[in-house]
Structure 1
Amino acid sequence: MIASQLPVLLIVLPLMTAPLCVLLGGRRLAYLLALTVSACVFGISLALMARVLQSGPIHYDIGGWQPPYGIEYVVDYLSGFVMLFVSAIAAIVLAYAPRTVELEIPGSKHTLFYASYLLCLTGLLGMCITGDLFNVFVFLEISSLSSYAMISLARTRRAPLAALRYLILGTVGATFFLIGIGLVYQMTGTLNLDDIAHRLPREGGPRTILVAFAFMTIGLCIKMAVFPVHSWLPNAYTYAPSAVTAFIAATSTKVSVYIFIRLVYDIFTPEFAFDLLPLDSELTTLALVGIFVASTSAIYQSDVKRLLAYSSIAQIGYMLLGISMGTQEGLTAGIVHMFNHALIKGGLFMVVGCYALQLRSVQLEDWRGAGRTMPWTSMAWALGGLGLIGVPVTVGFVSKWLLLTTAVQTEHWAVAVLMLVSSLLAVVYIWRVVETLYFHEPSGRAARAKEAPLSMLVPTYVVIAATLLFGVWTTYSAGLAGRAAAALLGAGS
């Protein structure tokens, strides 16, 4: 009986317990409740993914109302894959969070933080599992509003302004997306994703469909932080509390990429997006320009969180490259890079949180020589950096190799060459930090620092170790991404 209700429990559990974190009043009780719920949600995601692998996609009708009249939850290879790593990252970051939350968020706001964290997790998982287009918007707003709240909770005065900027641009993106939904509903009379895909007139259809697709694409590009509509992301990541940055950097933009993949490959189909429209060439151009501009910006940053923020914008470009190729291999590379980048960037931002706790600074100048006084934290940075560059036996190599081989097979020689060159830019900004940590005399802060506490190092190394594990064992990551890509292209055709 309980097993059949797992799809709805995945959403109801964090949604209903979020207000309890505030009502309980105690910071420790709120943390324990949030940690327990996030662990349970991860367990539910594991169980759902196991069922999908065993017996195929799961369809759950809310209230017993069958679609398209009722709302449907769907767990397939792609949604299950994204749900699984989002819930895993959420649980690990929350286990890591208490010390950094104590430092960076006023004590009176801790219960609000844990409530917002669970609401954000609800929204992200809801976008993955829902089979209703309007519900995608609802869950998108739940996750966005709670993200704005979490960013604004930091002690620094710049955090509320960063949250406000994120709110303004996020609202613009959500409005564009909602207008697109309205136009799609006008043309099809349904909001069920599968029903829309069957009813939507594409070839020779009215101009309204083209306008709807354009509105939804622009809205999602803002949410994904695609260059040049990325300006909300650097400040949001830089001034948010370290635990918040680690969580949203690893999950938020990836779920937006997931929705974009659904839009292109499941609802409108690649024939509409890439054959009738030149979206593939436009995405490729934006992706490549974004990779080079953002990577170059990262090289010149003195704030390590801002450095990683610009790096994230560049990495979104690699995902778009895979999506724009329009082949199963390219889509597989784009999907697996979502997972790989979630691990890499989540781990690196957790490392930054360790330095922020011990050095009370994320400025590169203050990190000089910290490799001597914080050797385990520094080694975690070096290992995570290797993954970001794409060195063999790390997850970054897997997705970049898939992208490179696909570009060569499809004779996109310029894309292949530019990808190789762009990886050298990642070497530069990662090496800047490594050089500062290991090849400089310790700064005043670094000389007095001690190693980060085990309560933060252990979760950090779990994520960093995963970047090595899944760089060698690709059955789960690349294998499952390949099955998801095959299912999407089968549905699209």
Structure 2
Amino acid sequence: MIEAHLPILIALVFLAFALIIPLSSLIKEEFSYGAAVIGGLLATSLSWFGLIHFAGADAVRYPMAGWMPPIGIEFVYDQLSALILGVINTMATLVLIHSRKVYPSEFPHKQMPFYTVCMLLMLGFNGMVLTGDLFTLFVFLEISSLSGYALIAIGGRAAPFAAFRYLIIGTVGGSFYLLGLGFLYNVSGTLNMMDMAGLISGISTQPSVVTGLLLMIVGIGLKAAIFPMHGWLPDSYTFASSTSTALIAPIGTKVAVYVLIRIVLYVAGLENIDAAIPVTTILSILAAAGILYGSIMAIGQFEIKRMLAYSSVSQIGYIVLGITMASPMAFVGAILHIVNHAVMKGTLFLVAGNLRLKEGHTDLRRLDHTYAKKYPWSMAAFTLGAISMIGLPPLAGFFSKWYLVLGTIETSNWFFLIVLLVSSLLNAVYFFRILEKVYLKNPRETEGQQVMADEKVSLREYSPSMIAPMMILALSLLVLGLGNVAIVDYISSFVPATILEAAR
């Protein structure tokens, strides 16, 4: 019985707890944290139940209020959405658990509004993944965007400015998407994704269709921070609170890229979207430029969160490149990288949050060899995350990059192959400089200075609620790497027909 209603149940969990949290805070404000964690655990359990139960099964379509599509709105739970939901809801739950020791210092006496907005954010993300209707997708897009603006504003002194900048750019992106949808609705008369895909396939060169698709892609590109539409991202990730960044960074841009996949590969199709303008070629060039730009900019940063933000710009390029190369291998690499990068970046931002909480900063120039002794768990997690980001086996990051490399070879895109290899080298530069500071003693210090520093060292990690989520994510990178064959087989089972046809 639960299987038939699973698509709506997952989203309703977050809506219900967005109402429960304010009510629980009337009894005691600290109950907000517990309610948020329970909501996250429940949604995660349902997501994993669906992922395991429906592996290889047909999509579940849930019509809202009894109205059948294309007239009514439907939620669609298929293999792709099941995988994305499992990842984002697991990530959100672990970040919420981690926030137990963080909120007293980052947002004291604001637990209720903070966790309520977190539930609304996840409601928006889950709705974007589940809906089969393009206008309902816009509604959920705005719910997640408004929640994201609020969460980013809860941070340092510069956070409100970063949130306002994100609001302006996000509003432009949403407007572009809605305007593009209007063009497509005008020629197709439907908002249902599957129905629209069939109706526009024969008229893909019409100006209204081309304009509509371009506007929607630009709108989602702004939300996904695809280069050069990434301007809002570095400041937002840097100045937001640690919990807000750890929640939005691994999830937000991935959901936006998921929407891009739905539009480009499922609604339009590669053969239609390139009929009038070489859209996928343009996107792949921008993705390659973003990969190099993000990596180079990350090298020049001294603030760890800002470095990770520019790294995200680069990693988004990996995913976009994978979905635009018209290669089954590249598609597998792109989806695998959505999963892997969410876990990698979640791990790294949780470590950054621990350092900011305990040390009051995340400036890599102030790191030294004592950090490995003060924060052994955090530094171990950071090391695993960094090595995975660089792409060293047997960690997860290696395998998604490997399939992207196979995709470039499969399509003879040698320039993109060089870009991927150069980017991995640049990743090594900006991550190894942190590992060097943490694990090696400064040769400029005298032996006496080093001894004095060592004598002052004491273990500063003691909270299981902070260590456990971080280590679960870090060790997951090893599990995802060693178990990549099963994940790749799963992803290979739903490679879009438009990619298979283009690869022939």
TM-score class normalised by the smaller sequence: over 0.9
Match of 1:77 in 2: 79
The residue identity in structure 2 corresponding to 1:182 is G
User: Matches of 1:487 and 1:264 in 2, distance apart?
Assistant: 12
SS at match of 1:484: coil
Match of 1:403 in 2: 404
Match of 2:119 in 1: 118
Paired residue for 1:480, among 461, 469, 490? 490
User: Matches of 2:433 and 2:157 in 1, distance apart?
Assistant: 28
2:388 aligned with 1:378, yes or no? no
Does structure 2 conserve the Cα–Cα contact (< 8 Å) formed by 1:265 and 1:492? no
2:313 aligned with 1:313, yes or no? yes
Does structure 2 conserve the Cα–Cα contact (< 8 Å) formed by 1:179 and 1:215? yes
2:356 aligned with 1:352, yes or no? no
2:46 aligned with 1:37, yes or no? no
SS at match of 2:70: coil
Match of 2:187 in 1: 187
**Percentage of identical aligned residues:** 35
Taking structure 1 as reference, are residues 488 and 352 closer, same or farther at Cα in structure 2, changes over 3 Å only? farther
Match of 1:469 in 2: 479
Match of 1:298 in 2: 298
User: Matches of 1:94 and 1:31 in 2, distance apart?
Assistant: 8
2:247 aligned with 1:247, yes or no? yes
Instruction: Structure 2 unaligned segments of length 5 or more: list them.
Output: 443-449
User: Matches of 1:32 and 1:158 in 2, distance apart?
Assistant: 29
Does structure 1 conserve the Cα–Cα contact (< 8 Å) formed by 2:280 and 2:325? yes
The residue identity in structure 1 corresponding to 2:391 is G
The residue identity in structure 2 corresponding to 1:433 is I
Match of 2:162 in 1: 162
Taking structure 1 as reference, are residues 260 and 289 closer, same or farther at Cα in structure 2, changes over 3 Å only? same
Task: Identify which range, 464-473 or 3-12, moves more after superposition.
Answer: 3-12
Taking structure 1 as reference, are residues 255 and 444 closer, same or farther at Cα in structure 2, changes over 3 Å only? farther
Taking structure 1 as reference, are residues 488 and 243 closer, same or farther at Cα in structure 2, changes over 3 Å only? farther
Does structure 1 conserve the Cα–Cα contact (< 8 Å) formed by 2:266 and 2:496? no
User: Matches of 2:149 and 2:502 in 1, distance apart?
Assistant: 35
Task: Identify which range, 118-127 or 471-480, moves more after superposition.
Answer: 471-480
Does structure 1 conserve the Cα–Cα contact (< 8 Å) formed by 2:203 and 2:209? no
| Cα offset, 1:276, TM superposition | 4.2
The residue identity in structure 2 corresponding to 1:385 is A
Paired residue for 1:56, among 54, 58, 67? 58
Taking structure 1 as reference, are residues 486 and 101 closer, same or farther at Cα in structure 2, changes over 3 Å only? same
SS at match of 2:220: helix
User: Matches of 1:486 and 1:217 in 2, distance apart?
Assistant: 18
The residue identity in structure 2 corresponding to 1:149 is A
The superposition leaves residues 211-246 of structure 1 with CA deviations (integer Å, 9 ceiling, x where unpaired) of 001100110110110111101000110111111111
User: Matches of 1:243 and 1:485 in 2, distance apart?
Assistant: 34
SS at match of 1:301: coil
The superposition leaves residues 460-483 of structure 1 with CA deviations (integer Å, 9 ceiling, x where unpaired) of 010011111111101443222222
Q: Equivalent residues in 2 for 1:250-261 (5 A)?
A: 250-261=250-261
Q: TM-score, normalised by structure 2?
A: 0.93
Task: Identify which range, 130-139 or 25-34, moves more after superposition.
Answer: 25-34
SS at match of 2:61: strand
Matched residue pairs, number? 491
Match of 2:447 in 1: none
Q: TM-score, normalised by structure 1?
A: 0.95
State the Cα RMSD in Å. Answer: 2.0
Taking structure 1 as reference, are residues 112 and 229 closer, same or farther at Cα in structure 2, changes over 3 Å only? same
User: Matches of 2:502 and 2:29 in 1, distance apart?
Assistant: 48
SS at match of 2:343: helix
Match of 1:425 in 2: 426
User: Matches of 1:98 and 1:487 in 2, distance apart?
Assistant: 45
Does structure 1 conserve the Cα–Cα contact (< 8 Å) formed by 2:270 and 2:498? no
| Cα offset, 1:492, TM superposition | 9.6
Task: Identify which range, 326-335 or 426-435, moves more after superposition.
Answer: 326-335
The residue identity in structure 1 corresponding to 2:408 is A
Does structure 1 conserve the Cα–Cα contact (< 8 Å) formed by 2:298 and 2:308? yes
Task: Identify which range, 383-392 or 276-285, moves more after superposition.
Answer: 276-285
User: Matches of 2:264 and 2:431 in 1, distance apart?
Assistant: 34
Match of 2:413 in 1: 412
SS at match of 1:226: coil
Match of 1:391 in 2: 392
Match of 1:11 in 2: 11
Taking structure 1 as reference, are residues 99 and 168 closer, same or farther at Cα in structure 2, changes over 3 Å only? same
Match of 1:68 in 2: 70
Taking structure 1 as reference, are residues 202 and 214 closer, same or farther at Cα in structure 2, changes over 3 Å only? farther
2:221 aligned with 1:221, yes or no? yes
SS at match of 2:493: helix
The residue identity in structure 2 corresponding to 1:297 is M
SS at match of 2:484: coil
Does structure 2 conserve the Cα–Cα contact (< 8 Å) formed by 1:374 and 1:449? no
2:91 aligned with 1:89, yes or no? yes
| Cα offset, 1:444, TM superposition | 8.0
User: Matches of 1:292 and 1:206 in 2, distance apart?
Assistant: 35
The superposition leaves residues 93-136 of structure 1 with CA deviations (integer Å, 9 ceiling, x where unpaired) of 1111111122211x221111100111111110100110110011
